[in-house]
Structure 1
Amino acid sequence: MLQLNVKNETSRLRAVVLGIATSNGPVPKVEDCYDPKSRQHVIAGTYPKEEDMVIEMEAVAEIFKKYDVKVFRPEVIENYNQIFSRDIAFVIEDKLIKANILPDRKREYDAIHHVVDQINPENVIELPRECHVEGGDVMPWNDYIFVGTYSGSDYSDYITARTNTDAVIALQELFPEKTVKAFELRKSNDDPKENALHLDCCFQPIGKNMAILHKNGFLIEKEYQWLVDFFGEENIFEISKEEMYNMNSNVFSISEEVIISEKNFTRLNTWLREKGFTVEEVPYAEIAKQEGLLRCSTLPLIRD
C-alpha cells in the first residue's frame, strides 16, 4: 500500500507520478486546443514534437533517480496527451482527490490505476460533479490550501477556467482544520500573456518561506497583496509577463533546498542560487508550449 503524505509544496519528495510524452498523438486542430498558448503554436507551426518532449521528460526522470525518488509513469494510451499528470489528481495529507477535468481527459486518470489501486480506497476522493477542479490550481501549504479559481458569471465562456467556487467549498469541507484561501485568476481564451491557466502559472511557494509570483495573474490586487504580505516582499521573486508566459513560476521542488527548473530561466535560476537553492536545470521549453511546465507534469504522492 502507498501511504500518501503531502502537506506542502516543498518537503522532501519520496514518490511522484511523472507524466509521459510517448505516443502523444498528432498536432491538435486549432479548435481542439484547451488553452491559448497551444493554439498559438499550432497556428505558427511550432507545436512541440513528440521526440523532443520525450527527451525533456526523461531528463526530469533522471533527476528523480539521482535524488532517490520513486517514480510512477502512466500507462501509455496510443495517440493521447498524458504529459500533465498534475491536472488529473492531487494529494493533500493522506487523500488523493480525483480532479474533475475536461470530460475528454478522463482516460488520463484511468491510466494511473496501477497507482490508485495501491491507495486505501477510503482515501481516494471523488468530488461531486458540480465541483470543477484541477491540480494546477491547488497548493497545500501546511495550515493553508491555496486555490486558484474564477467565479465570474461568464465562467462557462472560458475554456481556461478550470476550478470553480463549488470546488473551493468542497475542499474546505474535506479539510476543515485547514484554511482554504481562494484567489481569483485572470482568464483569457485568446491571449496567453493575459491568461493564468492555473494558480501555479502565476504563483508557487518555494523553500520554507519564499515564493515566485506574477502580479498580473491575479484579478484582485488585494488577493495578490495578501500573498506578498504572507511571504514578505524580500522573499518574493516577481516575474514579468514574458517570464509568466514562459512558465517561470512552474518549477518543481524536490525538497526545501532543491528545485528543478528550466535551463533558460536565467534570471530566476540565478536568484535561486543566490538564495542558497540547488537548481537542477533541465530542457523543458518544448513542453512549455502547451502552457504547462514542471509542476504541471508531476503529481507528488509522498513527501516527508
Structure 2
Amino acid sequence: MKLFRHGPQGQERPGIVDGEGNPRDLSGVVRDIDASVLGASGLDALRALDLAALPVLDAGIRYGVPVATVPNLVCIGLNYTDHAEETNAPIPSQPIIFNKHTGALCGANDPVILPAGSTKLDWEVELAFVVGTPCWDVPEDRALDYVAGFCVLNDLSEREFQLEREGQWTKGKSFPTFAPCGPWLVTRDEIADVQDLDLWLDLNGNRVQTGTTRRMIFTCAHIVSYVSRYMALQPGDIITTGTPPGVGLGAVPPVFMKAGDVMRLGITGLGEQEQRLVPYAPQMARRWEARGAA
C-alpha cells in the first residue's frame, strides 16, 4: 500500500493510493496515519478495504508528511562507502547516530527555507523507514518485522552550522523544512528488496546524486537492531539511513545552494519529491507560531 496525508499544512487528512494510482481519501475510515494504523493489524484492516468506495482526490493535492505526530527523527550518518570517501571521512565501523528535530519535517514538495546567514546549504537524498510497532533490543533477523514501510527523505544540511559552529550535527540539520518527507509511506510488502533500490537527486535539472542501497555499509535490518539497543523505538518514529555520493560538500570545489534553486529527487518504488529554495523572512516564524498556538 501507499499511504499519505494530504491538505493544508497543519490540517492534513489520511489517504491511500488505489491500484490504478488514484489518490483516495481515508478520513472516513481512520483518524490519521499514526500509531493506530502503523501496526500489523491496522495495516491489514486497510488492505481489506474496498478502495473503489473511497472518494477520489484531485491530482494536484498537497502531500504532507506521510506520518502524523512523529515522535523521533533518527538519522544514520556516512552509511554509503562512496559518500564517506567523497567527504574524506573514515568508513565507520558502527552506525553513526544523530537526530534531526521533528520540526524539520515538511511535505514532499513544500518550499525549503534558506536560513538567514546560510552559506553552505547542501542536499541529501535518503531512504527512510517508519517504525510500525514498539521496538527495543530486537535481533537483526526479525528487525524488519517492526518496520511499517519506507519513504523518501531529503536530509538537508547547512554545512557551516553543522561543522563550523561548535556542537553536534543536529544544529545544521534541524531548521524548519530541512526534512521533506514522502510523498507516500510505502508498506514493506510492496518492496521486494529494500537493499536493491536506486536513489537520485537533480539540482536545477542536473543529476548530482546517483546511488543504490546495495552500497549501504549497514543494512536497514542492521540499523533497526543496532539503534534499538540504545533507545526504545516507538510507532511513527522515522529513521533515515544515509545518503549516496554526490552531495555539494563532496564536490571539487564544494557547491552549495541559493534561493531559487530547485531539487528533484526520488527512490525506486517510493515516489519523487521537488522543492524550491525560498529565502527566510521573519513573518514565516510568526505564521508558524500562530499556527501552533491555534
- The answer to whether TM tops 0.5 is no
Which structure features the higher share of strand residues? 2
Using the size of structure 1 for normalisation, the TM-score is 0.24
